[in-house]
A and B are shown apart, each in its own frame.
Chain A
Amino acid sequence: MVCLIWPIEARADELVLSLIGVEASESATVEEAVKTEETKENITEAGSGEANYRLGSVLEGQEVGNWNGINTGRKMVRMAISRGATANTIVLLLLLPLVATIISFLHYVFGLSGYGIFMPTMIAVAFLATGVFGGLLLFALILLVSMLCRLVLKKLKLHFLTSRTINLLFISLATFGLMMITSYADLIDVSQVSIFPVMFMILLAEEFVRTQLLKSKDEAKKLMMGTLVLASLGAILMNVRRFQEIVLLNPDAVIFLVLVINLLVGNYKGIRLAEINRFKKAIRS
C-alpha cells in the first residue's frame, strides 16, 4: 500500500527487503520480494533501472529475423535500443495511443466521457508515476485547495489571472506540505516526487473550475469523475507487466490495431449506451 502511494527509490526498497529477509521464512521472503518488486517499478522514469532491465531482457528473448515489412516496428525498436533509447520510454510511447484508443472507444460507444482525450491520458500517466491511490489523494488535495481558494478569492474581486496565480501558489504550498508530512511519517522519499504528476493534476483541477464556470457544476463533476475513472483504468492497464511486454514485442500490431479501432469507432453513428438510459424517458407509453 505504502509503495502504491509514492514511488520509492530502489535503494530504500532493497533495505526493506533485506530487513524482511532476516525475519521471515524463506518462502515468505520470496513472495514478499516478488510483491514488492511488482509495485516499485516506475516506467515513467526513463532511467528507472528495474523496469528497463526487465523490458530489455524481454526484448532480448525475441527473435526478429530479417526485415519483411510487417516487422518494421520491431526492427525500429531494436535500432532505438541499440542507439541508447530506454525500453521504458518506448513502451510508454506505444501505450499512450492504446490508452487513448480505449478512452475514445468508451466515449463514443459507451458514453463515458472525461475532459477530451489528452486530459484522461495525461492523468493516467501521472497515476502511473504516483500509483492510482496516491494520485487520487494528491488530486483530492489539489482540488480542495483550489475550491477553498476560489471561495476566498471570489470575495476579493481580483482580476482573473491574478486570482489563478494565487490559487497556483497555494497548490504549490499544499503539495510541498503534503510531501513534508508524508516524508516525516516515513511514507515517501521527498526526493522522488516528480513535478509532472503535480502539474497534470493542477491542469485537471483548473479544467474542473473552468467547466464549472462555463457549463455547470453537475457537468463539471460528471466530466471530472469520468476523467478520473478513465485515467485509473488507463493507469491500471499500463501497469500490467504482461501487457507492457506484449506491446513492446509487437509494435506493428499495436499501430495496426490503434488505426483500425479508431477508424471503426470514428465512423460509428449509432447510439451510445448511456444515451439509451437518457432517451428511455422520451418514449411515450
Chain B
Amino acid sequence: MLSLKKYRRFLTKNERNKIYLKKNSVEGRVLADSKYRTKKVLAKAGVGVPELIKRFKKESEVDNFVWEKLEGNFVIKPVSGLGGKGIIVVRKRAKWAGEWHLMDGSIITIADIKRHCAEILAGRFNSHGMGDNVLLEERIKIHPMFLSLTSWGTPDVRVIVYNKVPVMAMLRVPTAKSGGKANLQQGAIGLGIDLATGITTFGIEGKGEEINKIYDYKRKKNRKVNGIKIPFWREILETAVKCQLAVPELVFLGVDIVLDKEKGPMVLEVNARSGLSIQICNKAGLKARMSKVEDVEVRSVNHSVTLAKYLFGEVFFEKVEDKSERKVIEPLEVIKIKLGKSKKNFREVRAKVDTGAFRSSIDQETAKEWGLLSEDRILYYRHYRSSLGKHRDRPVIGLTFWLKGRKVMTAVNVADRHKLRTKFLLGRKDLGGFLVSAKKINVKEEKHEK
C-alpha cells in the first residue's frame, strides 16, 4: 500500500494554486509581470538591480535611438517576457560601427537589433501575445564562481520567500539544452542550497532528473554537485527578504538573484508563481517549511535571515559519517555553546541527552546570564502546555554548539530548569548521526562533579 504520509511535507501544484497563490494579490502579480515596474520599486527600496539605459514603447523610439554610441555590455529584453525568452545579451563592439559581438562570439547588427525590438513590441515573447515594451539595460558582469559552471548564459540563485522569511533556495545553471536560460522547465540544472551556509546540497537537471556531477569549465573536469559555496550568501538572503518587504503584495515570492562581481547581488526579476522543482533539488518540502514560519512575526531583515538559518539549516552529518563511524555519546555530555563571533567566545555546559524530547532546551537563568536572550537571538515565541497544565509562552532561540566536535546549528527552547542539575537538554532533533550509549552513569563521577 502506497503511503502518502511522506509526501505531506511537499507543496503540490493543487495546493500552491489553491492556497498560496491566492495570497498573492492581483496588484502584486501585475507588478511581477512587468520587469520595468519591478525594477523601479526595488531600486527605490535599495535593492540592487541592473541599470536601465532606456525603455522603448514604440518602434519609432527604437529607430530614433542612437545605437552606434553603445560600446557593448548591454542587454535587450521584453518587459513582460516569459521564461527568459527574447533576451539578447551583447558583449562588446565588433570591428565596424553598428556591429557587436554576442556572448558566444557571433555578430549582431543594428538591423538585427531593431528587428528583434520590433518583435518584442509586437508581443511575440509574452504570455498574452499583446504589445510589449523593450528594456535596454546594462549587462551584469557575472561573478567568476558562477561563470565557471556554465558556458551558456547567466546562472542565478532562486530564493523562495514566504511571510518575509527565506524558506528555500537553489542555484540555477543554464545548459546547452536550456538554450542559455536558467529555467528548470527548459532543461537547466538546479542545485539545492543549504540556507544556513550557502553550500549546495543536491542537484537535478530539467524538471526532475537527479544528477551527481556538474562540469566545471574552469578546471575542465566534473565536480560534485554538493559542497559548492555560494559567495555573498548572507547578502543574497538579505536581498531576497528586502524584495518581499518592497513588494508585500506577494506573500509567496520567488526572487531571482544574479551576482555581479563588482556590485554584489542584483535582482533580475521576482516571480509570483514559483515552480515546485526546487523541492526536488533540495530534497525538502516547501509546505513543511512554510508552515513553520506561518505565524512568525518578522522584526527585521536580520531577524529573518537568522530565522532561515536556524530553522532550515542542513545537518551535515552525512559527510562526516563517510569518514568515521557514527559517534557514540553518553547520556551526559559536555557541549560548547557559541556565544559570539570569535572562535574563543564559548561556554561549556553539561547536557543531558533526552531522546524523548524533540527540541533541545536551555535553562532560562543560564541563557539570560550568557546574554543569549537578546532581541536578535530570539527567533519567535512558542506557546507551551506543561504537564502541570500551566500555559506560557517561551522563547525559541537560535543557537550554535559543538557536540563531540561536531557543529550543530539549531533552534532551542528556553525553559525553566533552575531546579535541575543539567542546564541543557539535548533533544533528538539535534542528535542525528549520533548513537546514544545506554550504559549506566558512573555514580562516583557524578558525585565528584557535584
Given known A160-B122, A216-B186, contact A281–B208 (CB-CB < 8 A): yes
Q: Does A159 contact B (CB under 8 A)?
A: yes
- Contact of A271 with B85 at beta-carbon distance under 8 Å, contacts A216-B185, A281-B280 already known: no
Instruction: Contacts A219-B185, A279-B7, A281-B208 given; indicate if A272 touches B12 (C-beta within 8 A).
Output: yes
Check if A213 is an interface residue, CB within 8 A of chain B.
Answer: yes
- The reply to whether the CB of A269 lies closer than 8 angstroms to some CB of chain B is yes
Q: Is B233 an interface residue (CB 8 A)?
A: no
Q: Mark B346-359, 1 if CB is under 8 A from A, else 0.
A: 00000000000000
Complex contact B10–A282 (CB within 8 A) = yes
Q: Is the CB of B83 within 8 A of A271?
A: no
5 tightest Cβ-Cβ pairs between the two chains A and B:
A216-B186, A282-B280, A271-B12, A160-B124, A269-B15
Whether A270 pairs with B208 at a CB distance below 8 angstroms is no
Measured between beta carbons, the chain A residues less than 8 angstroms from B280 are: 278-279, 281-282
A38: chain B residues within 8 A (beta carbon): none
For this complex, 10 residue pairs linking A to B, each with C-beta atoms less than 8 Å apart, are A214-B127, A215-B185, A216-B183, A269-B19, A271-B4, A278-B207, A282-B279, A282-B284, A282-B285, A284-B283
Question: Are A282 and B283 touching (Cβ within 8 A)?
Answer: yes
Residues on the A chain within 8 Å of B210, using CB: 281
Cβ contacts A250-283/B at 8 Å (1 or 0 each): 0000000000000000011111100110110111
List B104-142 residues whose CB lies under 8 Å from chain A: 115, 118-119, 122, 124-125, 127
Task: Decide if A271 touches B187 in the complex (CB within 8 Å).
Answer: no
Contact partners of A108 in chain B: CB under 8 A: 14
Tell me the residues in window 172-217 of chain B with beta carbons closer than 8 Å to chain A beta carbons.
178, 183, 185-187, 204, 206-208, 210
Which residues of chain A are near B19, meaning CB under 8 Å? Answer: 269
User: Which residues of A sit under 8 angstroms from B82, Cβ to Cβ?
Assistant: 214-215
Q: B383: CB under 8 A from chain A? A: no
* B122 & A161 in contact (Cβ 8 Å cutoff): yes
Nearest-neighbour CB distance to chain B for A158, whole angstroms, equals 10
Chain B residues lying within 8 Å of A214, measured Cβ to Cβ, are 82-83, 85, 125, 127
Using Cβ atoms and an 8 Å threshold, which residues of chain B touch A215? 82-83, 185-186
Q: Are B206 and A218 in contact (CB under 8 A)?
A: yes
CB distance from B323 to the nearest CB of A (A): 19
**A residues apposed to B, CB below 8 Å:** 108, 111, 157, 159-161, 213-216, 218-219, 267-272, 275-276, 278-279, 281-284
- Select A269's contact among B14, B125, B185, beta carbons within 8 Å: B14
Q: Which of chain A's residues have a CB closer than 8 A to the CB of B15?
A: 269-270
Mask of B160-176 contacts with A, CB within 8 angstroms, 1/0: 00000000000000000
Chain A residue numbers with a CB within 8 Å of B18 are 267, 269
Check if B13 is an interface residue, CB within 8 A of chain A: yes
Q: Are A279 and B13 in contact (CB under 8 A)?
A: no
Query: B369 → chain A, closest Cβ, in Å?
Result: 38
Taking the nearest CB of chain A, how far is it from the CB of B350, in angstroms?
32
Contacts of A219 in B (CB 8 A): 185-186
CA distance A213 to B123 in the complex (A): 12
Contact of A270 among B14, B204, B279, B283 (CB under 8 A): B14
Closest Cβ neighbor of B14 among chain A residues: A269
CB of B2 closer than 8 Å to a CB of A = yes
Residues on the A chain within 8 Å of B221, using CB: none
A contact residues around B185 at 8 Å (CB): 215-216, 218-219
Given A218-B185, A269-B14, 15 more pairs with CB closer than 8 A: A108-B14, A213-B85, A218-B207, A219-B186, A271-B14, A272-B12, A275-B10, A275-B13, A276-B7, A278-B207, A281-B204, A281-B210, A282-B279, A282-B285, A283-B6
Chain B interface, >50% SS class: loop
| Alpha-carbon gap, A192 to B298, bound state (A) | 68
Tell me the bound Cα distance from A272 to B6 in angstroms.
14
Given A160-B119, A215-B186, are A268 and B2 also a contact pair (CB < 8 Å)?
no
A279 to B187, CA, bound (A): 18
Contact, CB under 8 Å: A279 / B279: yes
- Taking a contact as CB atoms closer than 8 A, the residue among B7, B122, B186 that contacts A159 in the complex is B122
Residue in A157, A160, A219, A279 with the greatest tally of chain B CB atoms within 10 Å: A279
CB closest residue in chain B, given A273: B2
**A275 surroundings in chain B (CB, below 8 A):** 7, 10, 12-13
Interface core residue of B7, B119, B127 (most chain A CB under 10 Å): B7
Point out the residues of chain B lying under 8 angstroms from A281, CB to CB. Answer: 204, 208, 210, 280, 283
Bound: A234/B208 CA distance, A: 30
What is the chain A residue whose CB lies nearest that of B86? A213
A268 to B118, CA, bound (A): 44
Question: What are the residues of chain A within 8 A of B4 when measuring CB–CB?
Answer: 271, 276
Q: Nearest chain A CB to B35's CB is how many angstroms away? A: 16
Q: How far apart are B321's CB and chain A's nearest CB, in angstroms?
A: 13
CB distance from B399 to the nearest CB of A (A): 24
Q: Tell me the smallest distance from the CB of B408 to a CB of chain A, in Å.
A: 18
> CB distance A268 to B10 under 8 Å?
no
- Given A160-B122, A271-B7, are A276 and B2 neighbors across the interface (CB < 8 Å)? yes
A157 close to B14 (CB less than 8 A) = no
Question: Within the assembled complex, what's the spacing in Å between the Cα atoms of A213 and B14?
Answer: 26
For chain B residues 17-65, which have a beta carbon within 8 Å of chain A? 18-19
Chain A: minimal CB distance from B271 (Å): 14
- Chain B residue at minimal CB-CB distance from A158: B115
Q: Could you say which of B13, B122, B125, B282 contacts A272, with CB atoms under 8 Å apart?
A: B13
Q: Chain A residues with Cβ under 8 A from B208's Cβ?
A: 278, 281
A279 to B204, CA, bound (A): 12
Beta-carbon nearest neighbor of A282 in chain B: B280
User: In the complex, which residues of chain A have a beta carbon less than 8 angstroms from the beta carbon of B115?
Assistant: 157
Residues of B within 8 A of A159 (CB): 118-119, 122
Is B12 touching A216 in the complex (CB atoms < 8 A)? Answer: no
Interface contact A271-B122, CB-CB below 8 Å: no
